Every structure is written in C-alpha cells, then in structure tokens.
C-alpha cells in the first residue's frame, strides 16, 4: 500500500495515541478493582466490607487525578458514602479535576517537575491522614510517574532548596531514574517505604502505574509504600560518580549521608499489618496496544519495550535510523514500535536552549539521516510532557527535514545546545497533547512507506 508522507505521519500519531489510551486509569483500574456482593476485590486482595470502618485514599503522580476518578467510579457512590471515603492526592496543577470524595492538591505548577513548598504541605497532610487511621481501616494509595517530585518530605538537615539543587545537578549530568531515586530516597521521610511506615491502617494497598523501565517498585515514585532498608552508601556513590563531591550542595549531602550511615537503621514499627503493592500498567502495556493499532492499520510491525535504562538520546536515535534504513531496504517490516526512556546530557546553562528527551531524540534522528523519503518517526512522552516544554515530543519526517533545509536551520547546532523545541517550532513537528493523565515512560513509532530504495 502506497502511503504519502502525510499518511505516514498521521498513522504514526494514531498508533502512538492508541498506546497512550491503553494506559489510561479508567481502562486499567476496573480490571483490578471491583465489588462483588459485600466483598471489595483489589487484585488478589479481598476485603469484607462489613468489617471495614473507613477507607482513605492517598497518593501522588501525574496520573493521580485520573486514578482517583477511576477508583471512585470502581468503588461507587454507595460505598463512598457508607465508608466515609475521603483522601488527599498530590498532582500537577494542570491535572486538577472535579472528584466526589478525594481531594486533589496542586503540588507543583504545570511543566515544573520539581518539588515545591506546596508539595511539602500536601505530603504533610497525607502523612497526617494515614497516621490517624486504625486497624479496622483500609488505606488505598495511588502512585504513578512524577510522584517523587510531587511527594516531597525532606529529612532533618535537608532543605527543599537542597533537594531541588541536587536533582537539577544530577539530571544535568545524565543520571538515570534509578540513580536519582537512590539519592531522593535517602533524603526523604516518605520515600523508600516511609509512607507505609507512617500508615496506621490495618491494610495498605497501593495501585501503581509504572514509569520505570523494568517496573522496579522501589523506584516508581521512589517507592513510598515499598518498605526497604536504608542505603545511604548507594546515594553517596551516585553523588560521587556524578562528580558532585566538590559541589556545595553535594558535599553537604554526602556529609549528612555519611552521618546517617553511622546511625541506626530506620524504624520499622508502626507499619500496617498488611501491605500490598499492585502494578496495574506499564510501558509494555502501551507498546502492545500500539502494536494492535498498527496491525489494524495494515502494518507489519515489530515491538520492543526496554526493561532497563537506555543510553543517550543520540545513541537511541542512531539505532532507530539504522533500523529505518534496514526496513526501507527489505520492506518486510514497515513499523517499529519501541518504548523506553533515553537520557540527555545537558549543555552548559548559558548555552542551553529548550527541549526534552523525545525532542532531542527526534532531532538526533534528523541529524543522523539525510533522506527522509517514505519515513516518519514520532517520539513522545506518554504523560504529554517532554522536559520543561508544552510539547510531548516531536515528529521527524520528509516535510520537517525539507522545512529545515529551506530555512537553513543548523540541525547539529540545535542538537548540541539541547534546543530541539525551537528547531521543531520553526520546522514543524512538535507533538502537543496536553496532560494525558497517565505516565509510562516514552513511546516511539517508526513507520516506513513503499519506495525509497532506489530513488
């Protein structure tokens, strides 16, 4: 089937959107939460409703608002009233919506994925709520990507400014999510199982939408309901490996963590009698659904969902370009759907432009390949956010490549200074979706049309 450049681009977006739709909480949560008779079923957990005094919902994440709405629907109005369901969930400011029982708290501004004073205040409210529960109560927690920044509770001796500064420095040095969380867990009273330790309910069940490759529950939002022993030595190693031992904030935190190593472990008393963490969706869920849409559109597709951190965006882009050339030659597979999360090494602040890892990847692909006939590559964050921009990602195709040439845009220069947003703003190709109310890492769609082999 002959597909024009426009058709390829539209197909790529339809395939990408199908993947994002599949990880919407309103589709996922009913698969795990339902009521049968007088029993509440949550995954494999069963709760006799007559024995429950009250239900409280807490949590944090970019998908928090939609998870709350879906959970309220699953519980139903009768149960919401009978069990005095209430709660508090920290979400980004642009994700607020009307709910029936659970309060949504704007814990950070839109597009600013950093902890704030509002986030600290919201976390204190959550800790108060779970600390007031009793053995006949059920605490439900909703956790999704972005929860680390939305659930800040610095330990004694660490200020909010310290946490922001060290997170910025680690990110600028290309730290992985695992490295970031190794540090953030040790600087927080709520991460690394802290929320579970503070909870006095008889049962704590957490519904988790994973934005971490490999679905390590300790890493998703830094594992607030996953009890674990402290590992300050791991955090120190990350700071030292990132060359932050001589940085003012880095040195202060290393000194604090070394002191922590000499002290006793965190207390383990006070946690609920039963803790269950339930994974309801991940990157593979989105990739699989995107594959089904590709098949529906008539593509012979291949799929891959990374299970561990990817390399730099430029390296991932180079691999995708090589795959595109191979697919264009043999014509056997004409769609590649991949999920993951590359890293970006940031240019110095005084040279840095605007962009995100998906835009950087799409721009790197344009740099790596001159002939974009019969090709389209869409890369986007499933949360609708890509770096500190209003775009989810970007599209690379023949039209964008031609527009860049027509305007004499220096693709390599934009790439070096992490200024992909302004490049695509001029050449076209920015993917703007707004908040998607979900978050399972990144999704890329590469489609290949007929022709191009000998042209």
Nearest alpha carbon to residue 227 among 261, 191, 184 = 191
| Domain 5-18+284-448 matches domain 29-153+188-230+265-281 at the CATH topology level | no
pLDDT of residue 171: 85
pLDDT of residue 112: 86
pLDDT of residue 271: 57
pLDDT of residue 88: 98
Q: Which CATH number, 3.40.50.300, 3.10.20.30, 3.60.15.10, 3.40.50.10180, labels domain 29-153+188-230+265-281?
A: 3.40.50.10180
pLDDT of residue 454: 43
Q: How many whole angstroms separate alpha carbon 19 and alpha carbon 444?
A: 10
Cβ contact 424:359 at 8 Å: yes
Place of tokens 């996922």: 28
Which residues, given as ranges, of the chain have pLDDT below 70? Answer: 1, 264-273, 451-455
pLDDT of residue 268: 47
- Classified as helix, coil or strand, 28 is helix
pLDDT of residue 451: 66
Residues 6 or more apart from 67 whose CB is under 8 A from it?
25, 29, 59, 61, 89, 142, 144, 207, 209
CATH superfamily of 5-18+284-448: MOFRL domain (3.40.1480.10)
* Continuous H helices in 151-227: 160-172, 177-186, 194-198
- Residue ranges of domains in the chain: 5-18+284-448, 29-153+188-230+265-281
């Amino acid at each position: 089937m002959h597909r024009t450049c426009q058709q390829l681009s539209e197909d790529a977006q339809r395939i990408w959107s199908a993947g994002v739709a599949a990880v919407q909480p309103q589709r996922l949560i009913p698969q795990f939460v339902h009521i049968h008779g007088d029993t509440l079923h949550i995954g494999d957990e069963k709760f006799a409703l007559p024995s429950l005094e009250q239900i409280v919902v807490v949590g944090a994440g970019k998908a928090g608002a939609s998870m709350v709405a879906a959970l309220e629907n699953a519980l139903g109005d009768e149960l919401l009233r009978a069990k005095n369901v209430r709660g508090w969930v920290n979400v980004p400011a642009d994700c607020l919506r009307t709910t029936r029982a659970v309060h949504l708290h704007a814990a950070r501004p839109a597009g600013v994925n950093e902890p704030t004073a509002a986030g600290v205040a919201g976390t204190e409210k959550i800790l108060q709520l779970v600390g007031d529960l009793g053995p006949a109560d059920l605490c439900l927690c909703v956790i999704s990507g972005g929860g680390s920044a939305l659930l800040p509770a610095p330990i004694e001796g660490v200020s909010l400014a310290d946490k922001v500064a060290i997170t910025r420095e680690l990110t600028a040095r290309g730290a992985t999510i695992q490295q970031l969380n190794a540090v953030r867990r040790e600087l927080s009273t709520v991460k690394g199982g802290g929320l579970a330790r503070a909870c006095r309910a008889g049962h704590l069940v957490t519904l988790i939408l994973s934005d971490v490759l490999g679905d390590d529950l300790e890493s998703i939002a830094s594992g607030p309901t996953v009890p674990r022993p402290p590992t300050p030595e791991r955090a120190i190693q990350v700071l030292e490996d990132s060359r932050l031992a001589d940085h003012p904030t880095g040195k202060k935190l290393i000194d604090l963590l070394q002191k922590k190593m000499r002290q006793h472990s965190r207390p383990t008393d006070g946690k609920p009698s039963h803790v269950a963490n339930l994974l309801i969706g991940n990157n593979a869920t989105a990739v699989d659904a995107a594959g089904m849409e590709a098949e529906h559109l008539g593509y012979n597709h291949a799929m891959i969902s990374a299970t561990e951190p990817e390399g730099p965006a430029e390296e991932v882009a180079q691999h995708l370009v090589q795959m595109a050339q191979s697919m264009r030659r043999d014509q056997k597979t004409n769609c590649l759907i991949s999920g993951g999360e590359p890293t970006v090494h940031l240019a110095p602040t005084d040279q840095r432009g605007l962009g995100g890892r998906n835009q950087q990847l799409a721009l790197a692909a344009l740099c790596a390949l001159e002939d974009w006939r019969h090709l389209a590559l869409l890369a986007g964050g499933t949360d609708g956010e890509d770096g500190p921009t209003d775009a989810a990602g970007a599209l690379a195709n023949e039209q964008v490549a031609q527009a860049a040439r027509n305007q004499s845009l220096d693709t390599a220069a934009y790439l070096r200074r992490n200024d992909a947003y302004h490049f695509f703003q001029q050449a076209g190709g920015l993917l703007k979706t707004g908040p998607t109310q979900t978050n399972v890492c990144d999704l890329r769609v590469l489609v290949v049309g007929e022709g191009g082999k000998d042209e």
